[in-house]
Structure 1
């Protein structure tokens, strides 16, 4: 069974793997337990089901009255019997194949009002396993059983929402929907004019007149029918959204004789909703802008040598594409001929163009500036680096940050609470204290207008999306709102050395032969090193090739993690590795120790070639510091972040590099598991903040995964880094980390500001209402004005 219930999370149901012992058993999903109303009933159900053989887990959602049972049974009979014994009968459906996940675009889903209505409608459907909302992009991903899509679309239509299935069912298949054009412009204009005239006639006449009533009625009918329709649908589904509250408030105002005000309130509300939808489109444009970076067509070489323009989505792998100066690159690839400079800012955030020649990578969405290039396609359009960035940003929107989870929980309580208060305000003072009914009913209606928490709830996703888009523009790919929101809490940052602080392209600087022929030592070391992908080994291999040596075949090659490599050449076993490897082989000596100490104090990495009897030669390799490393470390220190370097290199070299860039502490001779244990020890003794780790996203994967925030360097074109890191830096500029921390601080500040503004305005109007100073049209201005304020404030992040 799926372990998650509708509305509890955004994850999809995961079918059992073929290796599962129950893979061939039918899968069952219980429907609603209509009589489970309290924890006592839930406890009874648990007590009857948990002792059953084969039951591995229960997930009972009391509020939704749903039960999911994880089991290894081939029949639900035992579960049914246990439920019957507890007084429950749960009708089930059999899932004969894996659940499907379909992504829908819902043009009318603008705010939490619609999300709550959709949840209440779809949550009770046994065909639906999970819902995942993306309000800003107006997308809903539904995990459902096969054949249930029509029922889902019908349920959405029943609540007044038209849904469109996205091509391929994927979240990145289509650009985010824009607000529907204002096709009913004249009814809106008529509503505004007649509402204004009604107010004018009312004041000129000194009170109500049949003309006032007629004008107000025309205004409400021309501008408010859509609100009434949505409000009626919400009330039928027992949902107190803003449309329902506004419909009740306007109707109540008319019943107590406030016709001009009722008309003006309805017009202002409708107008504000249009403005709010347009404002939200700016947040959607941030993602749409990413999608529009890559051109739709590419010029592809045909079999006969001719060049033909064809859709980028139809270009196959290994095809050869030509790109002229000034054109955008349509697909990822590797240059096979030509030289040029390419503006990679849309992908990596680099401020200067990058030279490209044969063998260099190019990315979709970047701009070819100077010369012509021909490149071989290495990724289809849907799997390019740009496509993965867009998918990651969209997926990050769906993960609710801590503030958003708090706001959502608060909102579920706030509206019913204010509605209850409004009922008390309307009835208690007249009944208990002889107050005037009309006065207190009017105050209750004002409360209804400000009872919807739209401003509060919409502020968080807009702010998070703006922050994610702003980060992506800088070449910083943040994989979730939680990391963007909590990044400013970073207190300690551990950094790998090679490829992170240094360029990762070291060169051989020293060579000393201790036994045998020097030329032979170069050939043996180069033959072993060329089989490794470690930057230090590659430096030795590159030096041997540049010296003109012919390398030998290596048999039984093996990498020794954190130490070096081993292989057999001409029947003899050789090792090429670091100080630790030689000590473990018991081949070290005082003379070798002295030489190694001298090299390491110079900041060089020593690599030793040995056979079974002793050390044959010592190679020294040195890497160069990145020009940006010193500034990045200084910026981190200014933000209060302590820095720690973790490297497999020797302690002396680690200390020398750390001193050169200003890192607080350095630890050398670390294996991957040592880096992991270091991160765990930092997490076990927190110093009031988060622990981060910076690496290449592959070799340091365990430590990156364990840290609170894992940063992957140079992720452009790297599938693993983009998919596994919490934050992926698209190029190798460490300064992006302090930039991320500052953006996180700005995001957190905006979130707090928006919450204070939204709740503050509500609190002020609650006080003004109780003292009789607030009017309904003022409440509408306050409610929708607050929504516009928080949206505008969130969008400020796009300008950073």
Structure 2
């Protein structure tokens, strides 16, 4: 199961079963998750098996009533050779005993085609101990899920059927797999050469019966060399009453051979098989673009041992809490928190940030990022299977199961298209000789040409490849989109609601201004007194004052805090207070001049702390949540795309308007509770496609209500992740505009591919019926269209031109 046609078959079958509540398809992993009561599972498996697919349960423990079924059809057109023996879903008791089973990886040198796979499958399915089989024909490997004690029985069963095998400790290397793929390519190129020889004999040899027999034999050899697997899949599909490319090609090639077009039949089969191989490699490139992110994380890490020494270990065995060291130029193999050292880290593989980020003690680091300078030691916070990078890959793989609206349209169209063309071909073959007086062989040949170009492969493959490429391109830029539906929906956004704190602003107060009022007191002395008092408080405003002032703190005696007002204390025998505007006013120390200064800062949304002695006001300190450097540019980019921006915040109106004016948002809504934000989103969504950007738990209701919800800073926090549809891995608001641009670009490529696929077929329909199109030209048209849409979809993986 790895293409939309097969998904549609399974979906239609399972929707008829009472109790099936939901289905989630992951074509890239050939996995289907079925939400249904346990009593329904046997009916689910039986329905899938009746379609010609085989199922096996997941090896991990089941969760509630959710049954996970990996389905693969060796007899269908779009499937690879990764299959398993049909078994019932594992019960909880069986899963408890799963530890007895292990994967036995075998290399079978003589196994390289589906026929041999079927023979081996029949031999091993009779063994009670065998739970699962997984074939990799290009690499000639077989994975057997069985107890260790069954190893000898498995190998003896293979030998009894004429297959020698050897045990492998690990899967074949990429080099070995690539070599196997080259062998497959050489086989098909050889078939093409034999087909070309058959064509040459047809054109240049005499018409003597002997030469004709030789030519037909050569053509048959070419067909056998390239098309046995096609015939096997095709006839199996026809027996199930299904029409796919293998069924259509089988009928077309056999029909051409029988009416005397044997050279063309051989050439068509060879060209088709070769094009299928190229197309499969191209599609794999799109699917592997996401899994390729995992290679960014090194497999080894330098870990401190119990005796204090450092040693290299495999990253997948390093435990949470271990101390790991990363030298300049090396990649982080695991997630963690820095314990010592300082350095600049390139986080672009995870968050998409183009500028390295300075890291020091207590800062988080992520697997796959690059330490550019300085040696860093960090404590591991997540195992290798649960790093931010691994979660990104898993989330994007899950997102592939969320079909975009365009993809759903194409799947429905394809379900009608193929049978319609088949009926048209029958009408031409049977009707035109009687109605138009065409020669029977000519009419039959034209019908066979139509069959070759009837398959909707180019059409149905255009959307998933494009969507997967778009999702992978977004992930590479630090944007995690939860499904193709949101990738396509983002282009429609007309209004965007923006949370203030943590989205437009940094999310933590900073000291932005300080003014000395007492002229007779030294500036440095005033600043040190203010810092000394603030250092004894844990209030966020006090912390901002401490971080923003230079120098060392002084000793404070008789320290005390006044709730809602500020702090007091004695320094060098003198009493001081560091408090808010109201407290200074209550103390009677507010002059007209001071009131004017305070009002000026408060109108800009700043929080004030005033330092005063018993006799006079010494200084004032203004604290504010500063805007991010990227916010103004992000708002400008959104405006340029015609998106109206609205700030939604629970802060007071003065502060909100000051921040809104600074970043350039068009409208400000202040003093909002979480339910008020949600109400605004719901009301706005009635007239426009509305997006919402937030980073906190209080933003979750409005994120869920929006057409597309964007969560900020997803690499470092879990808040708002579940409610959001798009996760921005860093705090860069410009990624929202980039998501919208990628959405528009993806949608454009989708319709380019649909137009290209249908346009090419329309032209050849006309040529096939009224012109002189041949079968091998039809193969070029069909497979050429498939390759064109695949390569066009892969363009999304390239960054856009500046």
2:6 pairs with 1:4? no
1:336 to 1:458, Cα distance in 2 relative to 1, 3 A: same
For residue 87 of structure 1, what is the aligned residue in structure 2?
none
Aligned-partner Cα distance in 2 for 1:737–1:677: 22
Residues 187-216 of structure 1: per-residue CA shift (max 9 Å, x gap):
423321221122222222486833322221
Map 1:278-357 to 2 at 5 A.
Answer: 278-357=281-360
Q: After superposition, give the CA deviation of every residue in 1:596-616 in whole Å (9 maximum; x if it has no partner).
A: 8654422325799xxxxxxxx
Deviation at 1:259, TM superposition (A): 0.9
Partner SS for 1:669 = coil
Residues 697 and 724 of structure 1 are in contact (CA less than 8 Å); yes or no, is this contact kept in structure 2?
A: no
1:391 aligned residue: 394
Distance in 2 separating the partners of 1:399 and 1:553: 58
Q: Is the 8 A contact 1:103 1:165 kept in 2?
A: no
Deviation at 1:154, TM superposition (A): 7.9
Deviation, structure 1 residue 788: 0.4
Give the whole-Å Cα distance in 2 for the aligned partners of 1:469 and 1:299. Answer: 30
| C-alpha distance in 1 between matches for 2:646 and 2:322 | 45
Instruction: Return closer, same or farther for 1:5/1:432 CA change in 2, 3 Å cut-off.
Output: farther
Alignment map for 1:49-448 (pairs within 5 Å): 98=64, 101-102=67-68, 104=70, 113-114=78-79, 181-205=181-205, 209-448=212-451
The yes-or-no answer on 1:462 pairing with 2:479 is no
Give 1:785 shift.
Answer: 0.2
Q: CA deviation at 1:400?
A: 1.0
Q: Secondary structure at the match of 2:230?
A: helix
Deviates more, 1:757-766 or 1:777-786: 757-766
2:45 and 2:385 map into 1 onto residues whose CA distance is 43
**Contact residue 350 and residue 476 of structure 2 kept, 8 A:** yes
Counterpart contact for 1:276–1:787, Cα < 8 Å: yes
Is 1:648 the counterpart of 2:665? The answer is no
Question: Cα distance 1:522–1:685, how it changes in 2: closer, same or farther (>3 A)?
Answer: farther
Could you say what secondary structure the match of 1:303 adopts?
A: coil
Is the contact between residue 697 and residue 711 of structure 1 (CA under 8 Å) also seen in structure 2? no
Q: Deviations over 1:726-778 (max 9, x none)?
A: 11111111111111111111111100000001111111111111203211111
Q: Deviations over 1:569-589 (max 9, x none)?
A: xxxxxxx9999xxxxxxxxxx
Flag the 1:713–1:429 CA change in 2: closer, same or farther, 3 A: same
CA distance in 2 between counterparts of 1:544 and 1:313 reads: 45
Counterpart of 2:711 in structure 1 is 712
Q: Structure 1 residues 752, 165: CA separation in 2 closer, same or farther (over 3 Å shift)?
A: farther
Secondary structure of 1:770 counterpart: helix
Which deviations, in whole Å up to 9, do the C-alpha atoms of 1:170-194 show, x marking residues without a partner?
xxxx999989724345542332122
Q: Which residue of 2 aligns with 1:698?
A: 697
1:572 corresponds to:
none
Once residues 577 and 452 of structure 1 are traced to their aligned partners in structure 2, the CA distance between those partners, rounded to angstroms, is 75
**Partner residue, 2:759:** 760
Structure 2 residue runs of 5 or longer lacking an equivalent are 1-17, 52-61, 92-127, 147-170, 516-527, 567-578, 583-593, 611-619
Say whether the 8 Å CA contact 1:196–1:264 is kept in structure 2: yes
Compared with structure 1, are the counterparts of its residues 166 and 421 closer, same or farther at alpha carbon in structure 2 (3 Å cutoff)? farther
Where does residue 479 of structure 2 map in the other structure? Answer: 476
> Contact between 1:496 and 1:695, CA under 8 Å: does it hold in 2?
yes
Q: Give the corresponding residue for 1:488.
A: 491
Over 3 Å counting, the alpha-carbon distance change for 1:412 and 1:5 in structure 2 is farther
Distance 1:302 1:525 in 2: 42
TM-score normalised to structure 2 length? 0.72
Q: 1:295 is paired with a residue of what secondary structure?
A: coil
The answer as to whether partners of 1:605 and 1:653 remain within 8 angstroms in 2 is no
Inter-partner Cα distance in structure 2 for 1:717 and 1:342: 15
- Tell me what 2:104 maps to: none
Is the contact between residue 134 and residue 142 of structure 2 (CA under 8 Å) also seen in structure 1? no
Aligned to 2:101: none
Distance in structure 2 (CA, Å) of the matches to 1:565 and 1:432: 98
Aligned equivalents of 1:334, 1:450: Cα separation in 2: 57
Distance 1:105 1:485 in 2: 28
Please give the per-residue CA displacement for 1:299-336, whole angstroms capped at 9, x wherever unaligned: 11112111121111111111110111111111111111
Shift of residue 29, structure 1, vs aligned partner: 5.8
Correspondences of 1:707-786 after superposition (within 5 Å): 707-786=706-785
Q: Distance in 2 between matches of 1:426 and 1:218?
A: 28
- For 1:451-507, what per-residue CA distance to the aligned partner results, in whole angstroms no more than 9, with x for missing partners? 111111111111111111111111111111111122111111111112211222322
Aligned partner of residue 3 in structure 1, secondary structure? coil
How many pairs does the alignment contain?
A: 659
Aligned partner of 1:611 in structure 2 is none
Q: Structure 1 residues 550 and 336 mapped into 2: Cα distance closer, same or farther (>3 Å)?
A: farther
What secondary structure is seen at the aligned counterpart in 2 of 1:215? helix
| Residue pair 2:32, 2:70 contacting (<8 A) in 1 also | no
Partner of 1:583: none
Deviation, 1:268, is 0.6
Other-structure match for 1:46 = none
Q: Identify unmatched segments of 5+ residues in structure 1.
A: 17-25, 35-59, 65-95, 130-148, 168-173, 513-518, 558-563, 567-575, 580-591, 609-617
SS at 2:198's partner residue?
helix
Corresponding residue number in structure 2 for 1:788: 787
When structure 1 is superposed on structure 2, of 264-273 and 416-425 the one drifting more is: 416-425
CA, structure 1 residues 364+409, in 2 after alignment: closer, same or farther (shift >3 Å)? same
Q: 1:525 to 1:187 in 2, by over 3 A?
A: closer
RMSD over aligned Cα, in angstroms? 4.7
3-state SS of 2:626 partner:
coil
TM alignment of 1:509-588, pairs within 5 A: 530=539, 539=544
Distance (Å, rounded) in 1 between the aligned partners of 2:83 and 2:557: 69
What displacement does 1:156 show? 11
